[in-house]
Amino acid sequence: MPTSSADEAGRPMPHLLVDGLSAGYGGAPIVHEASARAGLGEIVTIVGPNGAGKSTFLKAVAGMIPALAGKVRLAGEDVTNMRANHLARRGLGYVPQVNDVFDTLTVADNLAMGGYLLKRNEIGERTEKVMEVFPALKRMLNRTASKLSGGERKMLAMARVLMLEPSLLVLDEPTSNLSADLSRVVLEEHVSRLGESGAAVLIVEQKAQAALAISDWAYVMAGGVIRISSAAGDLLARKDLAEVFLGRSTGDGEVPKAS
């Protein structure tokens, strides 16, 4: 039986509310009746072993694959199976794990695409703002995205999604392919800043400890099912779960325990 922390009641009002979502890629569902929520200003992480269905869950939330059952509500509105371009208009920003930038476009054009829904004169202003968050991008505006390093690419992907000031950010393994140091920067500086800016943030992350350290709430997914819903700090403190769900023994938890 799933174990939950008692303080679920203390969480903010849900901005994203996922109820009983099942999803897959055409065959049998990979995710079974998963429920999760994220409030404004809240960072919510889904952890779990490889192949647990975490990315599939995110893709269904972000409108990239169809939901086979269940409901997704964003700001109170039913957005189940709404196409991704309509979700973007409703404030959902999604950064996929791979193919997260437009390879053949320059950095500047990638940002312009991120601001596709903005008015022409707003794109310039917004680009300036986003570059205050990622000043390193200023030097590479005219470079083609395919020529960027892994870290620069991820920075561009995050900058691109911020162009529309989304109220819900869905990040699929923002630190995959990044070094331990860079992962820490991405999580501790950028992702946690997103939470502080008032957006709801939903992350799937392999580097579970590092992600939990900056998160408010956590779900553990295994076998396509949400097994645990808990405050992130409580989950970090639970020694019994570490081996199974967080993969501490695999050596990817370089960040010291937060509690």
Partner 1 sequence: MSQLVPAIGFGLITASILAIAAVGFTLQFSVTNILNLAYGDVMTASAFAAYIANHAGVDIWLSLLMAALFGAVFSMLLNRFVYFQFVRRGTRLFGMIIVTIAMSLIIQNVLLAVFRPTFFSYEVSASASYTFAGMILTGSQLAIMGIAVVAMVSVHLLSTRTRLGKAMRATATNPGLARSCGVATDRVIDVAWLLSGALCGIAGVVLVLNTATFSEVTGANFLVPIIAAAVLGGIGQPYGAMLGAVTIGLASEVAASVINPSYKDVVAFAILIVVLLVRPQGILSEVASGKEVAA
Task: Give the nearest distance from C-beta 41 to partner 1 in angstroms.
Answer: 22
Is the CB of 48 or the CB of 93 nearer to partner 1?
93
Q: Among all chains, which residue has been given the structure tokens 């699929």? A: 172
Q: What is the CA radius of gyration of the chain?
A: 18
Of the residues 105, 131, 185, 237, which one makes contact with partner 1 according to CB under 8 A: 105
Nearest to 195 by CA among 9, 7, 15, 10: 15
Instruction: Confirm or reject binding of residue 82 to partner 1 (CB under 8 A).
Output: no
Is the CB of 30 or the CB of 169 nearer to partner 1?
169
Is the CB of 101 or the CB of 218 nearer to partner 1?
101
Task: Give the nearest distance from C-beta 221 to partner 1 in angstroms.
Answer: 22
In the shown chain, the binding pattern of residues 132 to 171 toward partner 1, with x for contact by CB under 8 A and - for none, equals ------------x-x-------------x---x-------
33: left (phi over 0), alpha (psi -120 to 50) or beta: left
Window 60 to 79, contacts with partner 1 (CB under 8 A): 62-64
Rounded-to-integer distance, Cα 82 and Cα 65, Å? 10
Q: Which amino acid is at 166?
A: P
Is the CB of 26 or the CB of 135 nearer to partner 1?
26
151: left (phi over 0), alpha (psi -120 to 50) or beta: alpha
Q: Select from 7-15, 58-66, 176-184, 241-249 the region that touches partner 1 (CB under 8 A).
A: 58-66
Nearest to 156 by CA among 113, 202, 212, 216: 113
Is the CB of 119 or the CB of 239 nearer to partner 1?
119
Hey, how many other C-beta atoms are within 10 angstroms of the C-beta on 239?
9
Of the residues 3, 4, 81, 104, which one makes contact with partner 1 according to CB under 8 A: 104
Instruction: Confirm or reject binding of residue 174 to partner 1 (CB under 8 A).
Output: no
Is the CB of 57 or the CB of 94 nearer to partner 1?
94
Burial string for 96-135 (b: 16+ CB within 10 Å, else e) reads: bbeebbbeeebbeebbbebbeebeeeebeebbeebbebbe
Nearest to 60 by CA among 13, 94, 28: 94
Contact 41, 227 (CB under 8 A): no
Task: Give the nearest distance from C-beta 199 to partner 1 in angstroms.
Answer: 16
Is the CB of 13 or the CB of 84 nearer to partner 1?
84
Of the residues 85, 149, 179, 259, which one makes contact with partner 1 according to CB under 8 A: 85
Give the residues lining the site for partner 1 (CB under 8 A).
62-64, 83-85, 87-89, 92-94, 96, 98-105, 109, 112-114, 116-117, 120, 144, 146, 160, 164
